[in-house]
Structure 1
Amino acid sequence: MSLLDMVREAGVIGAGGAGFPTHVKLASKSEYILLNGAECEPLLRVDQQLMKLFPDEVIKGFEAAGRLVSASKAIIGIKGKHKDGISILRERIKALQVGDFVEVKELPDVYPVGDEQVLVYELTGRVVPEMGIPIQVGCVVVNTETALNIYNASLGQSVTEKYITVAGDIPKSLTVKVPVGTPIIDVLKLSGIENFDDYAVIDGGPMMGPVMSNIDGYVTKKNKGFVILKKQHSLIRKKSMNLEQARRVNRASCEQCRMCTDMCPRYLLGHNVQPHKMMRALNYALTDVEGQKVSQLCCQCNLCELFSCPVGLYPKSANVYFKEKLAQQNIRYKPMQSEFASRKSREYRLVPSKRIVARLGLHDFDKPALMTKVEIKPELVRIATRQHVGAPAVTVVSTGDHVQLGQLIGKIPEDNLGATIHASISGTVVECGNDFITIRRD
């Protein structure tokens, strides 16, 4: 079986949060393959630790992926502040004798350097076109944990576990490995908190992650971290604002200073995204559809809402409003050019991560979350059939079936984009629906 088939059968997807099926990416041919080890969201600590704890596995998986796409160079992008990790990686690259192909490049400690398009620019100097993807400029990007999973797939191991950071206003910050399908509440309680009545939980990083409406869900392959904060924390209040509330605040206070645009990472790469114009269109009910199309260039990094706007307004929400409205009408932005160059002002408008942490009120919680061996043995796991980009997996087991750890329980629908799913524990299938497969432990 080829490596591509192994990756496909193992159910490897983008582990950084997007969840795009990796076998589709690796079916391309590219000049560069890039490892996204930036982990630019504050408080999250998964990738930086995986590169130190499993350097050989990450490098081997990354190298194998690079050979598969016929890349001429494989570049690991990691923030320069992670000196220990950089030293370990460079030492192991030399020991594995892959230095002619794999190299480490240091990234600035700014947000959002882990954004796929920002990463491509920082590592290669190339700008991905508007509405485009990295392969259009000869790049394939994979996440650190994804590279580790590619290595495991080459050994015949499917993706059944997930690394997650638990951080925030909690007694104990930590990073753990848990079975896919584990109840999220079991993971949250590792923080030392038992009663969450006074707390809210952000699914993912504090910049892009949404506040969870409830914590009764289950871990998927896409989860990267959970940030636990008191409900009265300013970040929770900010993120809990609905679109209508945001619209009222915007209309009352926006003075069109355009800081949201001038600081926008995609705008600084030369794209035409201009959130201040979307604020104008939303506040005054402007109907120019052509002008609204630039909202679709927004990557929703949230820098405009959580940092750039001097009075704390909601430019991203304005972008999202028009993106959804245009999607309903099947209207899509069409770039007017194919080549782009970063704006000259970009180097002066990069936002240091420490400034982000301070602005979000997270300074006291910005601490190590060390990888901790905690044995979580949930009695039940509930594995989603859709935890990736594309169509949900098609169930290949039935209620009452006994399954083994790593066994295929959901396949990719024929002629569709998707990913396989596997049993994360050995046990009996007690529920088998279109959305979830529930397994009770032996």
Structure 2
Amino acid sequence: MTLLDIVKKSGIVGAGGAGFPTHVKLQGKADYILLNGAECEPLLRVDQQLMEIFPAEIIKGLEAAGRFIGAEKGIIGIKNKHKKVISILNETIKSLSLEDFIEIKEMADVYPAGDEQVLVYELTGRVVPEMNIPISVGCVVINSETALNIYNALEGLPVTHTYITVAGDIPNPKTMKVPVGTPIIEVLKRSGIESFEDYRVIDGGPMMGPVMNDLNGYVTKKTKGFIILKKDHHLIKRKSMDIVQGKRINRSACEQCRMCTDLCPRYLLGHDINPHKIMTALNYSLDDGNLQSSAQLCCQCNLCELYSCPAGLYPRLSNLYFKTKLDEERVRHIPKKTDYAPRKFRDYRLLPSKRLVARLGLKNFDKYAPLTEEILEPEMVFIYTGQHVGKKANPIVNKGDMVQIGQQIGVIPEGELGAAIHSSITGTVTEVNEDFIAIRRNLNA
């Protein structure tokens, strides 16, 4: 089998949160294979620790992907504050005699350094055009855990576990290796908190992750972290605003100062997105199709909403309103230009992560969350058939079947975008439906 076949069969998807099937990324040729080790979301600690603990495996996975797509160079993007990790990676690259193929580029500790298009520019100097993806400028981007999963796949191990940071206002910040399909509440209780009546949980990082309304879900391949905060925390209140309330507040107070635009990462890369104008378009029902469609250029990094706006308004919600509306109408933004270059003042408008953490009210919780050796063994797992971009996997097991850890239990629908799924424990299938496959652990395994 080729690497593409192995990655496809192993069910590898983007582990950074997007969940895009990795085998699709590897179908074309590219000049660069880029490793996203920036991990720009505050409080999350997965990628930096994986690069420290599994440097050879990650580099080998990156090399394999890079060689397969015919890349001239592999570049690891990592923040310059991670001196120890950088040293370990450099030593590993030398020990593997890969200096001519893989190099490290240090990045400033700013938000959102891990945004895919920001990363491409920082590492290669190329700007991804509007409404495009990195391959359009000869780049393929994978993150650290995805590279590790590629290495594991070459060793015959499909994706059955993911690494998760649990952080926030908790006694025990930590990072854990967790079976896919584990009940989320079991992961949250490893924080040292038993009752969550007075807490709310953010699924993912504090900037882009949504506040969870229900803690009864299950871990997926793309789950990266949970931020636990008191329910009266400023950030929880801000992120709990719905679009109807946000629209009302925006219209009553927006003064068109354009700070949301001036600090927008995609605007600074030269894209024609102006959040302050999109605010006006929504507030006053302006019928400007190109202005409305420019909201599709928004990456939902939430910088405008949680940091930039001096009045505490909700520019991101305005962007999201138009993105959702136009997606439903199948209207696509049409770029007006073909050549892109960063705005000349970009370097002076990058946001230091420490300043962002302070603004979010998370300074006291910005702590080390060590990768523990504790083993989480849930009695039951519920493996979603649709935990990735594309069509849901088709189950290939039935109720009552015995399955082994790593056994494939779902396949990609013929001719569709999707990803295979595998059992994360050894046990008995107790339920199979359109949405998930439930498996009870064999206690004798």
Q: Same fold (TM over 0.5)?
A: yes
- TM superposition shift of 1:288: 2.0
Measure, in 2, the Cα distance between the counterparts of 1:334 and 1:290: 7
Secondary structure of the equivalent of 2:200? strand
Q: Give, as a single letter, the amino acid of the residue that structure 2 aligns with 1:362.
A: L
- TM superposition shift of 1:124: 0.4
Matches within 5 A, 1:53-72: 53-72=53-72
- TM superposition shift of 1:278: 1.1
Q: What's 2:222 paired with?
A: 222
Matches within 5 A, 1:272-421: 272-421=272-421
Q: How high is the sequence identity, in percent, across the aligned residues?
A: 67
Matches within 5 A, 1:240-259: 240-259=240-259
Secondary structure of the equivalent of 1:106? strand
Q: Give, as a single letter, the amino acid of the residue that structure 2 aligns with 1:157.
A: L
- TM superposition shift of 1:339: 2.1
CA RMSD in angstroms comes to 0.6
1:40 and 2:40 aligned: yes
Contact kept? 2:180, 2:221, Cα under 8 Å: yes
Secondary structure of the equivalent of 2:23? helix
- TM superposition shift of 1:287: 2.1
Measure, in 1, the Cα distance between the counterparts of 2:162 and 2:276: 38
Q: Give, as a single letter, the amino acid of the residue that structure 1 aligns with 2:208.
A: M
Deviation digits for residues 24-75 of structure 1 (CA, Å, limit 9, x no counterpart): 1011100001000000000000000000000000000000000011000000
- TM superposition shift of 1:289: 2.1
1:191 and 2:162 aligned: no
- Mean CA deviation greater in 173-182 or 282-291: 282-291
- TM superposition shift of 1:224: 0.3
* TM, length-normalised to structure 1: 0.99
Q: What's 1:152 paired with?
A: 152
Q: What's 1:29 paired with?
A: 29
Measure, in 2, the Cα distance between the counterparts of 1:299 and 1:401: 42
Q: What's 1:172 paired with?
A: 172
Measure, in 1, the Cα distance between the counterparts of 2:222 and 2:409: 18
Q: Give, as a single letter, the amino acid of the residue that structure 2 aligns with 1:321.
A: Y
Measure, in 1, the Cα distance between the counterparts of 2:26 and 2:235: 38
Q: What's 1:129 paired with?
A: 129
Measure, in 1, the Cα distance between the counterparts of 2:192 and 2:67: 44
Q: What's 2:430 paired with?
A: 430
Q: What's 2:270 paired with?
A: 270
1:213 and 2:213 aligned: yes
Deviation digits for residues 263-298 of structure 1 (CA, Å, limit 9, x no counterpart): 100000000011101110111122222321111100
Deviation digits for residues 117-141 of structure 1 (CA, Å, limit 9, x no counterpart): 0000000000000000000100000
Q: What's 1:74 paired with?
A: 74
* TM, length-normalised to structure 2: 0.99
Deviation digits for residues 376-405 of structure 1 (CA, Å, limit 9, x no counterpart): 111100000011110000000011111000
1:50 and 2:66 aligned: no
Q: What's 1:139 paired with?
A: 139
How many residues are matched?
442
Deviation digits for residues 121-178 of structure 1 (CA, Å, limit 9, x no counterpart): 0000000000000001000000100000000000110000010000000001000001
Q: Give, as a single letter, the amino acid of the residue that structure 2 aligns with 1:39.
A: E
Secondary structure of the equivalent of 1:357? helix
Measure, in 2, the Cα distance between the counterparts of 1:31 and 1:332: 28
Measure, in 2, the Cα distance between the counterparts of 1:383 and 1:116: 28
1:108 and 2:114 aligned: no
Measure, in 2, the Cα distance between the counterparts of 1:329 and 1:24: 27
- TM superposition shift of 1:3: 1.4
- TM superposition shift of 1:325: 1.2
Q: What's 1:182 paired with?
A: 182
* Uncovered stretches (5+) of structure 1, i.e. residues with no partner: none
Q: Give, as a single letter, the amino acid of the residue that structure 2 aligns with 1:395.
A: P
Deviation digits for residues 6-36 of structure 1 (CA, Å, limit 9, x no counterpart): 1110000000000000011011100001000
Q: Give, as a single letter, the amino acid of the residue that structure 2 aligns with 1:17.
A: G
Deviation digits for residues 58-97 of structure 1 (CA, Å, limit 9, x no counterpart): 0000000000110000000000000000000000100011
Secondary structure of the equivalent of 1:440? strand
Measure, in 1, the Cα distance between the counterparts of 2:159 and 2:230: 33
Secondary structure of the equivalent of 1:276? helix
Q: Give, as a single letter, the amino acid of the residue that structure 2 aligns with 1:227.
A: I
Q: Give, as a single letter, the amino acid of the residue that structure 1 aligns with 2:308.
A: S
Secondary structure of the equivalent of 2:105? strand
Q: What's 1:440 paired with?
A: 440
Q: Give, as a single letter, the amino acid of the residue that structure 2 aligns with 1:70.
A: G
Q: What's 1:202 paired with?
A: 202
Contact kept? 2:290, 2:334, Cα under 8 Å: no
